[in-house]
Amino acid sequence: MAKTPVRTRRSGSQLSPEAIIEASLRIAARGSQDAFTVRRLGEELGADPTAIYRHFRDKDELLLSVADRAYGEILEGIPDGLGWKDRLRALADGSLRVALKYPAVASITASRTTRRINEFRLVEFILGAVTEAGLDGADAALYYRAVADALLAYVGQSAAYVLFAPEIRAGDESSWAREYRMVDPARFPGIARLGTELAQVSAEAVFDVRVEALIAAIEARAASPSEDATRT
């Protein structure tokens, strides 16, 4: 029936949760070239599309498992021996890298919670960084959430973007060079004056600014822990 499969795997089974997760990652790695659908997944596995429902309750549960596997890939890419700032930077870079590697997974999972092993490891990783920065208690929890939410949001947004059809993406990207260059300078003086600079901003630089802003906020908070965290 539609029940969570037991742990005892039968030897005769062709499929397994691990094999399904890996096939999902293979499909997701092809980005917008290959849709991450149940039928396509069955094709990749050489099995009936509905066979995966014997190993996962629904596609959502599969997606969370796949995402957790991706979380592990992020953690593996972070070297040891770094200070808390460089650990957070490495985490940000790795998250973006993995999210762009599996955009279909990242774009859907960005506002979810996997509640699986590698998510625990990631939480512990961030908590360790903010603790080393000098935060503790409610402050550590608050700034952990700020870091985690910001990373997930940005990374998910970037993933959703690369997942768009090329023609849509081309239209969005060229807008800075087209529509934004033709605006009425009287109504929009700022856009008219900075049109060239706006078209030249790189996504990497923006990502950098946002990561460094968070790190600076953590540092500032650790320096004055008694004040209230909210706006003055």
Name the phi and psi angles at 152, rounded to 5: -60, -45
Q: Are 100 and 91 in contact (CB under 8 A)?
A: no
User: Residue 37 or residue 200: which is nearer to DNA going by CB?
Assistant: 37
Please pick, from the candidates 18, 39, 117, 188, the single residue that binds DNA as defined by CB under 7 A: 39
Residue position matching structure tokens 């089974």 = 13
Q: Which of 21, 25, 110, 133 binds its own copies (CB under 8 A)?
A: 110
Note whether 9 binds DNA by CB under 7 A: yes
Is 54 an interacting residue with respect to DNA (CB under 7 A)? yes
166-201 burial, b for 16+ CB within 10 Å, e for fewer? eeeeeeeeeebeeebeeeeeeeeeebeeebeeeeee
Length of the chain measured in residues: 232
What gap in Å lies between CA 31 and CA 162, rounded to an integer? 8
Site membership for its own copies, residue 100 (CB under 8 A): no
Indicate which of DNA, its own copies, none lies near residue 39 (CB less than 5 to 8 Å, by partner kind).
DNA
CA atoms within 13 A on the CB side of 206: 11
DSSP 28-53: HHTGGGS---HHHHHHHHTS-GGGGG
- Please, what is the minimum distance in Å from the beta carbon of residue 218 to its own copies? 9
Residue with Cβ nearer DNA (13 or 157): 13
Size of the site for DNA (CB under 7 A): 31
- Residues lying near its own copies in the complex (CB under 8 A): 60, 89, 110-113, 115, 120-121, 123-124, 127-128, 131, 137-138, 140-146, 149-150, 152-154, 156-158, 160-161, 164, 168, 171-172, 175, 179-180, 183, 187-191, 194, 197-198, 200-201, 205-206, 208-214, 216-217, 220, 229-231
